[in-house]
A = this chain, B = another copy of it.
């Protein structure tokens, strides 16, 4: 966020001719808030479109229209389409990885996993677009955001691998391969976001349906926990 804003701030310095002494700090802060708000709106529109139609399937014009700004104006806030896309991914990465980050060796593994599934299903229900965006990006080999994404993932996963290993050493978990357990949790929970179109087509329901949400959560917890708690 900080980095992404550097540019707009630089441009603003050039573009708005100041009287001697410049505007008050309050005025500057207000302007900055308006700038941030507009960036937020544009990023929101970009998220919806990129996650549905992909990077190449979405035009800057479409994003501008959805965000209710002109294309020229959009390209004042983001240097080009690539930067808009990268900003979007960078901003969402932290929140997208949050549920896994919560894993802690002090927790009971069953609680931790139940909690993870719950959090991830809520995210899949409320923010399916984010999930789809990362799905698309990773599936295509992360061509744009690339190394940054994988490097972040790797740091987190290495960290959580040791947590799972501790649980196993303490006899609290069956000897599963940590990587596969993590992939397993990712795959099953994200499925309901990434393939919501298919899930809805086949079952007629989405995670927004209370009963369906509970059913998914129970099914996943039952299967996973039965398979990984010490026998």
Residues in A lying within 8 Å of B, measured CB to CB: 52-57, 132, 135-136, 138-142, 150, 153-154, 157, 176-177, 179-181, 183-184, 186-188, 190-192, 194-195, 197-199, 201-203, 215-216, 219-220, 222-228, 231
Contact = CB atoms under 8 A, between A and B. Distances in A.
A148 to B, nearest CB: 12
25 contacts: A52-B140, A53-B140, A55-B57, A56-B56, A57-B57, A136-B139, A138-B197, A139-B194, A139-B195, A141-B197, A153-B201, A154-B201, A177-B219, A179-B203, A180-B215, A180-B220, A181-B219, A183-B188, A187-B191, A188-B188, A223-B223, A223-B227, A224-B227, A226-B227, A227-B227
A43 to B, nearest CB: 20
Given A55-B57, A226-B231, 4 more contacts: A57-B57, A177-B219, A180-B215, A224-B227
Contacts of A202: 150, 153-154, 157, 179
A162 to B, nearest CB: 14
A180 B57 contact: no
Given A191-B183, A191-B186, A191-B187, A176 B223 contact: yes
Nearest to A183: B191
